[in-house]
């Protein structure tokens, strides 16, 4: 049922992808120039760890609420370190360039699997998703990971068992995100298999475990080995990323039970693609399996592998967040593109005619829904805040009065959110910029007088070196429902939180800064951490921040 169209036919349509790609690159460049944004939390930590290595120090992976390290991100950041303070903007530029590479990869994958028109629609659906662009303007490495995986799929689709080029891209992806380990292992197994029909297990293993097969299986584990080696060299524990991440995920409430994972998966995919495109992708997948099942093999394998890996992460107690489903969400867009443009795969006839008409109505519906949900003012305000807030932070921290005050003690922020940005601006070490929220135990459980998280206990090793800490003499009161009559019971315990008597305190003061950087985790972050301690005087102010000091 496949149409006779030659996707390489010359003509005006052959230039259309290049025109679209040029417009995309111009738009991304304009976004980079007009809205000067800066990296997110994880990317700043990669820059900090790279700078520590450049300074001859061992990077500190277990700082308070530090993100999981990614070896390739650190290596790339080391290349950028000689650029100085401008390295952070280069990270954002490269993330935006990854969007262009990803869009080109989506077009090439859909074109290789189906045809040019499906590829064009898939690329348009991808870049029309503002959430993806928004990840890039904050320097998230997820977009680069997606581009590497998609281009690996492109190479394999163009030539079966491509080998080294595919595995190299997957290995790079595997040093950016641990989900890539599964893809590397599967591809190594695919290359180790001799391609013969399936045999009994024992005979099949003999054919896989040849010298050639073992070599491919070993290279499929390179990304995992690089990650484990990095953890071992820095922390002495090769499984540090796995154990630390799972513990932190539990503390931040990012874990889910096994029965919740399927529902969370559906909710995340709908949230990334939008409800309409999610269901369009599901229907498009079914249509693809009906009319051209062989062409669906590569996108379908990646989709199943991505969702399966997400399930494994959830069952393993790791963080369950929507960004880990970006690749499956992108592949669903390819199948949604089949639903919209798959009629070009059909021979001339009534089915093709009616399908094209319904696709036109569906395309108009997608545009209308997207236009209704788009709020340009909100997006512009958000992007403007990210640039202005960073400039404000640089302004207040670079003032001579603040630099002098930092001789009296470390810089304290309300929580972990402003720590990497401040450290980057000040060129400061782990113990020079600390979060006030790390000094206290985490939320009290209903039946426990006080729970102190491992993350906080580990991070407070830096606190004793911070000048001006003293114990509080006050009391903490909280209520439980453990009374015999079921009524709330008030319990009073000593406040174990150290108080700050000297040093510098940085506080967000604007509404947006307070919401995003001062009071992030409701119930865990305390409002008192966003007000100046007793005895501190104000020494610097800006639109979004105020600095207090006490010597």
- Dist. CA 258–CA 185, nearest whole Å: 24
Quick one: average pLDDT of 227-237? Answer: 91
Q: What is the pTM of this model?
A: 0.86
394 CB-near residues (< 8 Å, 6+ apart): 425
Residue 1: the pLDDT is 43
Quick one: average pLDDT of 69-82? Answer: 93
532 CB-near residues (< 8 Å, 6+ apart): 505, 507, 538, 546, 548
Residue 452: the pLDDT is 57
Residue 3: the pLDDT is 43
The candidate with the shortest Cα–Cα distance to 129, out of 345, 329, 338, 386, is: 329
Say if CB 440 and CB 419 are below 8 A apart: no
- More confidently predicted of 32 and 317: 32
Quick one: average pLDDT of 445-461? Answer: 55
Quick one: average pLDDT of 403-428? Answer: 91
Render pLDDT for 250-308 as a digit per residue (tens, 0 to 9): 555 565 666 778 888 888 888 888 888 899 899 999 989 888 888 888 899 899 988 98
pLDDT > 80? residue 24? yes
Residue 364: the pLDDT is 81
Domain boundaries, the chain: 20-374, 381-550
pLDDT > 60? residue 191? yes
Residue 425: the pLDDT is 94
pLDDT > 50? residue 448? no
Residue 551: the pLDDT is 84
Three-state SS at 499: strand
Q: What is the mean pLDDT of the chain?
A: 82
- The DSSP 8-state label assigned to residue 500 in this structure reads E
Three-state SS at 526: coil
Render pLDDT for 43-55 as a digit per residue (tens, 0 to 9): 999 999 999 999 8
């Amino acid at each position: 049922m496949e149409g006779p169209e030659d996707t390489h036919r010359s003509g005006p349509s052959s230039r259309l992808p290049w025109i679209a790609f040029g417009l995309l690159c111009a738009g991304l460049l304009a976004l980079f120039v007009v809205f000067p944004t800066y990296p997110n939390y994880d990317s700043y930590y990669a820059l900090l760890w790279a700078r520590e290595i450049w300074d001859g120090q061992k990077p500190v992976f277990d700082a308070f609420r530090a993100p999981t390290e990614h070896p390739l991100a650190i290596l790339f950041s080391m290349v950028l370190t000689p650029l100085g303070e401008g390295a952070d903007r280069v990270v954002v530029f490269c993330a935006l360039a990854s969007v262009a590479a990803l869009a080109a990869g989506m077009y090439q994958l859909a074109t290789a699997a189906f045809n040019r028109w499906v590829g064009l629609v898939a690329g348009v659906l991808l870049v029309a998703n503002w959430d993806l662009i928004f990840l890039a303007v904050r320097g998230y490495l997820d977009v680069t990971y997606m581009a590497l995986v998609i281009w690996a799929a492109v190479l394999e689709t163009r030539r079966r068992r491509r080998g080294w080029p595919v595995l190299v891209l997957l290995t790079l992806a595997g040093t950016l995100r641990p989900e890539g380990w599964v893809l590397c292992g599967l591809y190594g197994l695919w290359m180790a298999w001799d391609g013969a029909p399936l045999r009994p297990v024992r005979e099949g293993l003999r054919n896989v475990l040849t010298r050639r097969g073992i070599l491919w299986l070993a290279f499929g584990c390179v990304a995992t080995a690089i990650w484990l080696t990095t953890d071992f060299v820095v922390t002495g524990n090769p499984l540090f990323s796995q154990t630390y991440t799972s513990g932190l995920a539990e503390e931040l409430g990012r874990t889910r039970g096994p029965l919740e994972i399927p529902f969370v998966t559906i909710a995340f995919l709908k949230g990334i693609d939008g409800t309409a495109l999610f269901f369009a992708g599901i229907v498009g997948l079914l249509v693809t399996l009906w009319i051209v099942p062989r062409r669906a093999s590569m996108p379908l394998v990646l989709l199943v592998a991505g969702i399966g890996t997400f399930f494994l992460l959830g069952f393993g107690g790791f963080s369950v967040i929507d960004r880990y489903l970006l690749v499956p969400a992108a592949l669903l867009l390819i199948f949604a593109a089949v639903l919209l443009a798959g009629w070009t795969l059909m021979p001339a006839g009534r089915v093709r005619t009616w399908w094209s008409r319904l696709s036109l109505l569906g395309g108009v519906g997608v545009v209308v829904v997207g236009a209704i949900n788009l709020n340009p003012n909100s997006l512009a305000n958000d992007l403007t805040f990210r640039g202005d807030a960073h400039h404000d932070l640089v302004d207040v921290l670079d003032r001579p009065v603040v630099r002098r005050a930092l001789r009296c003690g470390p810089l304290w922020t309300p929580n972990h959110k402003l720590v990497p940005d401040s450290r980057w601006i000040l060129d400061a070490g782990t113990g020079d910029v600390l979060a006030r929220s790390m000094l206290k135990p985490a939320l009290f459980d209903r039946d426990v007088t006080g729970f102190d998280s491992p993350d906080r206990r580990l991070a407070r090793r830096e606190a004793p070196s911070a000048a001006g800490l003293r114990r509080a003499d006050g009391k903490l009161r909280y209520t439980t429902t453990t009374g015999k009559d079921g009524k709330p019971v008030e319990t009073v315990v000593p406040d174990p939180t150290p108080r700050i008597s000297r040093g510098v305190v940085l506080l967000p003061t604007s509404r947006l800064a307070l919401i995003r950087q001062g009071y992030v985790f409701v119930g865990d972050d305390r409002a008192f951490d966003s007000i100046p301690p007793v005895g501190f005087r104000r020494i610097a102010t800006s639109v979004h921040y105020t600095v207090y000091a006490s010597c």
